[in-house]
Amino acid sequence: MPPATAALLGVLDILRPAFSAPSFDNLVVLFAGWVLTGGRHAITEALVASQVSGRRHHAAFHSFFARAAWSVDELGLRFAEKLAAMFDGPLFVAIDDTLASKKGPEVFGIGCHVDAVRSTRKHKIFSFGHVWVTLAILIPVPFSQRRWALPVLFRLYRTAKDCEKAGDARLKKTELAKQLLGTLLARLGDRPVCLAMDNAYCCGLLLKEMPENLTVYGAMRPDAALFAPAKPQLPHKPRRGRPASRGQRLPSLDSLAKDPHSPWKATTAFLYGAKHRVTFKSLTALWPTVCGNRLLRIVLIRSVKGTIPYRVVFSTCSRDSASAVISGYGHRWNIEVAFRELKQELGFADSSARTPAAVLRTAPFVGLVYTALVLWFLDKRSGKAVLPIRPWYRQKDSVSFADILRTAQHALRPLDILAISSAAPDLEKIRQPQPRHARRPSKPLRPAA
């Protein structure tokens, strides 16, 4: 077996302790088939692409998602531990949600949601499907200028109507995000973590009870109620009652943006995969309704285009510079890139699963395939694989996920995936499907009276 192919399948060994031996064999087959599939992805298409169809019954692979005993969270946490061990310093993560459009009255958890990609401020477009709240780890890679977002943890958001119909408790997106963050922090221990989130998740539920090892880069509303820090109480002037937790109310951010006595400053920050020159104003303040008594570094970024004059971002570390705050929040954009590649390259929204267990596992499985492929490409042994040759892109100096996927397909295509299985089946004992009329012998006709 070529070293690149062995390294690709070796990434799955990280997940081996979370499976039984038969389930792990099925995982290897589905992983290889999913990578090799072109066009619309499905379990049966994966079996065809991996040349397993007709040699193993397809029911075993449907049962892998619907009935097998394995945990999606455990798989994601094993990848998270691997990624945390590969890099020093704070671990950057991002939380966001994405819509996987699909229809079907019998599909578990389906609902009508706002399609943020196709909607505008004035016109909201709704679509049926699944909304996945996702936590991704942002890692620097040597083949790209930007950080890459690798999904590791997932939660399915369900509408109030769907939960009421099934008799289940409804959880908001922010509550699901808190579950994901708590699961990751419990596994990583005291490792410093930097979290980037959009303003939809910057709320008191997530930010009021933050551990000390967590730094958040987020966005806030321009009309947020900000306060100055409380003045320290002098020992020679004791006062009755509880010490003040905050100072006076500060002027609005809009007045700060229009204040001619506070000039705009310029700096360089990393946004949207490249360095940009931005103008800003900054201050330190408390945001008690959301972040409690934690002092924030708040930065106003003047917009060059569009109707919004400025945007507001913040960091829960008041010692951060304005450039660090803007770049820290800008890392959130990478999870949007991952969502696009998951849907267009790996069929994140293609699954036709209907039962609860299958729905809750299939889409996260696709996200973990994405993470496994990038982990493999970071391995030194994967360098012996052949990248697709595109001489018409002379200015191309980085690697895209499409390049990684094509390279993995080149490594897996000549491989007989069942030959490396630890439980290769006896082909003579495989139960072959038969036509309906051949399953039961027909009864002899009664003679005419």
Q: What is the pLDDT along the chain (449 residues), one digit of tens a residue?
A: 788 888 999 999 999 999 999 999 999 999 999 999 988 999 999 999 998 988 889 999 999 999 999 999 999 999 999 999 999 899 999 999 999 998 888 899 999 998 888 888 788 999 999 999 999 999 999 888 899 999 999 999 999 988 998 888 999 999 999 999 999 999 999 999 999 999 999 999 999 888 989 999 999 998 999 999 887 766 666 666 677 778 889 999 999 999 988 999 999 988 887 888 999 999 999 999 999 889 999 999 998 777 788 999 999 999 999 999 999 999 999 999 999 999 999 999 998 889 999 999 999 999 999 999 999 999 877 665 667 777 887 777 788 899 999 999 999 988 888 887 654 443 334 344 444 444 444 455 455 54
The pLDDT tens digits for 247-257 are 889 999 999 99
The pLDDT tens digits for 353-382 are 899 999 999 999 999 999 999 999 998 776
The answer to whether 296 and 314 are in contact (CB under 8 A) is yes
Transcribe 399-419 into DSSP letters. Answer: --HHHHHHHHHHHHTT--GGG
| pLDDT, position 383 | 65
* CB within 8 Å of 325: residues ≥ 6 apart: 217, 282, 297, 299, 313, 314, 315
| pLDDT, position 209 | 85
- Distance between CA atoms of 1 and 141, rounded to whole angstroms? 27
| pTM: predicted TM-score of the whole model, two decimal places | 0.89
- Distance between CA atoms of 135 and 98, rounded to whole angstroms? 11
The one-letter code for the residue type at 446 is R
Question: What own/partner pairs with CB < 8 Å and gap ≥ 24 does 337-340 have?
Answer: 337/146, 337/149, 338/136, 338/148, 338/149, 338/150, 338/151, 338/370, 339/96, 339/98, 339/134
Domain ranges of the chain: 3-71+357-427, 217-229+246-322
Q: At what angle do helices 356-378 and 21-36 cross, to 10 degrees?
A: 70
| pLDDT, position 442 | 47
Q: Compute the 3-state secondary structure of the chain and give helix, strand, coil in percent, each to the nearest 5.
A: 40, 20, 40
Bridging pattern class, strands 310-315 and 295-302: antiparallel
Closest by CA position to 414, among listed 390, 386, 376, 389: 386
